[in-house]
């Protein structure tokens, strides 16, 4: 009887020691994660995506995927052009409680041609800040850069106009 009580008490002590180690490890991981709020591909307020890349942005509670460039009519380097041209990026966004939406974000605003640099989604304004690489005169334009594009976007809280009410 004495042996059973001794083994039982040693077992209880071993289990409580394991539980204390687990709590310490999870607390350390949680503090490391909360101190690093920016993703590795985020510089300042711009978040960078490679073509085809998908990221869940915890800060905004949304999933963002850079689908690709559907149009790149930017004037190549070293060439004189009448119009500067535009790059049109397709960015798919999805909130935690919304369906996916594809936004066509342009490298510059030109409302007459239906090019918009920003779009509103789920209380945020998403703006295309950068598109690389820039076309070169000797390349085949969109075909040469296909799969190599990288974009930078910024996400800001949408401000409602003052003095208006929403229903």
36 part of a folded domain: no
Mark 97-115 as b/e (b = at least 16 C-beta within 10 Å): eeeeeebbbbbeeeeeeeb
Please check the confidence at residue 17 and state whether its pLDDT lies above 50.
Answer: yes
Could you read off the pLDDT of 61-76 as tens digits, one per residue? Answer: 999 999 999 998 888 8
- Which CA distances in Å does 41 have to 8, 45, 54, 96, 110? 53, 11, 12, 22, 29
CB 131 within 8 A of CB 151: yes
CB 51 within 8 A of CB 145: no
Q: What is the pLDDT of residue 148?
A: 85
**pLDDT, mean of residues 53-65:** 94
- Residue of 3 and 33 predicted with greater confidence: 3
Helix residue spans in the chain (DSSP H)? 2-35, 142-145
Q: The domain containing residue 80 runs over which residues?
A: 48-157
- Residue of 151 and 144 predicted with greater confidence: 151
Q: What is the pLDDT of residue 34?
A: 36
70 part of a folded domain: yes
129 part of a folded domain: yes
Please check the confidence at residue 25 and state whether its pLDDT lies above 90.
Answer: no
* Sign of CA pseudo-dihedral 157, 64, 47, 75: negative
- Residue of 72 and 140 predicted with greater confidence: 72
What pTM was computed for the model?
0.65
6 part of a folded domain: no
67 part of a folded domain: yes
128 part of a folded domain: yes
109 part of a folded domain: yes
* Sign of CA pseudo-dihedral 49, 53, 59, 61: positive
Domain count, the chain: 1
Per the listing, tokens 């799969």 go with 147
């Amino acid at each position: 009887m004495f042996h059973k009580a001794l083994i039982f008490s040693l077992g209880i002590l071993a289990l409580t020691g394991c539980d204390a180690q687990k709590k310490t490890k999870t607390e350390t991981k949680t503090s490391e994660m909360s101190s690093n709020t920016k993703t590795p591909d985020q510089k300042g307020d711009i978040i960078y995506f490679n073509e085809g890349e998908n990221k869940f942005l915890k800060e905004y509670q949304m999933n963002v995927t850079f689908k690709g460039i559907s149009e790149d009519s930017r004037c190549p380097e070293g060439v004189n052009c009448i119009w500067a041209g535009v790059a049109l990026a397709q960015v798919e966004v999805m909130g935690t409680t919304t369906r996916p939406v594809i936004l066509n974000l342009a490298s510059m605003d030109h409302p007459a041609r239906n090019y918009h640099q920003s779009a509103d989604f789920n209380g945020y304004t998403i703006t295309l800040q950068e598109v690389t690489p820039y076309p070169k005169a000797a390349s085949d334009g969109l075909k040469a850069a296909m799969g190599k594009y990288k974009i930078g976007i910024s996400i800001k809280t949408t401000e409602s106009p003052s003095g208006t009410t929403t229903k």
